[in-house]
């Protein structure tokens, strides 16, 4: 997995502080912005966080480049509705040598791993065979219609991988550009930094939290699963490891406090 923060709002905490102050001030926006420096922006955002007043957080955005994650993860992360996704397409990108993600529980068991790798090898073989057969079929059809050979080749390949992709596994790795505003990220971290989240999206969420906490520490001061700032919201399904989770999240955010 490779995660980079490639863009974010200029002075995100200033923007959040200004947006919140504007609601209660007769001053103009330019005047408010001029009066905000790093210290009072941080103090004001701290107050918003403590109050749970999250709507001004929507004005700060963060964009991530994510690679080496599975299509299984893609199905989960797109459930977070208030976000923008640009994902590598299996319809247009040929998967003839697809990479894949191996779950840790499989990676650490040689017998199961062997079965898994054999399955990936068979999927690749079937994908390439289906692609080849469909491509030949479509190309002949286009040539009979009088299409130029190069154009027929190109259109036939696109049509072939469009259907052949149905045999590809959830383990296939993918790439995406993801943008979320700070409020959506807080919700994302609340759900996906939890121990009960699936391992891959949990790892991604923790990587993302580490990156945004560095550039907007006040906004993400209390970010993390519910047990970071209070009681676990999972009830009887709790992992019963709240102290360990708090310590882990604090290290991720770089605070290194003793819990």
Dihedral angle sign, alpha carbons of residues 220, 221, 225, 226: negative
Residue-wise pLDDT for 182-241, tens only, equals 999 999 999 999 999 999 999 999 999 999 999 999 999 999 999 988 888 888 889 988
Helices (H), the chain: 12-22, 29-35, 38-51, 71-77, 104-107, 110-144, 149-164, 182-192, 199-215, 226-229, 242-252
Specify the pLDDT at position 163. 96
Catalogue all structural domains in the chain, each as residue range(s) with its CATH number. Answer: 2-87+173-252 (3.30.1360.170), 104-167 (no CATH)
Share of the chain above pLDDT 70, in %: 98
pLDDT tens-digit series, residues 21-31: 888 777 788 88
pTM: 0.90
Which residues belong to the active site?
192
With a cut of 60, say whether residue 5 has pLDDT above it. yes
Instruction: Check whether 20 has a pLDDT greater than 90.
Output: no
């Amino acid at each position: 997995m490779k995660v980079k923060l490639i863009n974010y709002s200029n002075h995100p905490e200033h923007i959040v502080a200004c947006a919140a102050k504007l609601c209660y001030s007769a001053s103009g926006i330019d005047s408010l912005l001029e009066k905000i420096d790093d210290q009072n922006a941080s103090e004001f955002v701290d107050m918003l966080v403590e109050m749970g007043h999250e709507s001004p957080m929507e004005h700060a955005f963060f964009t991530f480049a994510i690679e080496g994650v599975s299509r299984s993860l893609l199905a989960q992360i797109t459930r977070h509705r208030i976000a923008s996704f640009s994902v590598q397409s299996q319809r247009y990108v040929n998967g003839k040598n697809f990479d894949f993600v191996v779950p840790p529980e499989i990676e650490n068991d040689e017998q199961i791993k062997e079965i898994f790798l054999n399955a990936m090898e068979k999927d690749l073989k079937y994908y390439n065979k289906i692609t080849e057969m469909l491509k030949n079929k479509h190309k002949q059809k286009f040539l009979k219609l009088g299409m130029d050979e190069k154009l027929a080749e190109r259109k036939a390949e696109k049509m072939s991988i469009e259907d052949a992709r149905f045999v590809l596994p959830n383990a296939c790795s993918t790439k995406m550009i993801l943008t979320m505003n700070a409020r959506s990220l807080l919700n994302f971290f609340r759900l996906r930094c939890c121990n009960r989240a699936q391992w891959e999206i949990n790892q991604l969420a923790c990587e993302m939290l580490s990156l945004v906490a560095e550039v907007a520490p006040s906004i993400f001061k209390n970010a993390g699963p519910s047990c970071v700032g209070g009681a676990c919201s999972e009830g009887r399904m709790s992992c019963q490891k709240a102290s360990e989770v708090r310590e882990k999240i604090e290290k991720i955010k770089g605070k290194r406090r003793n819990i």
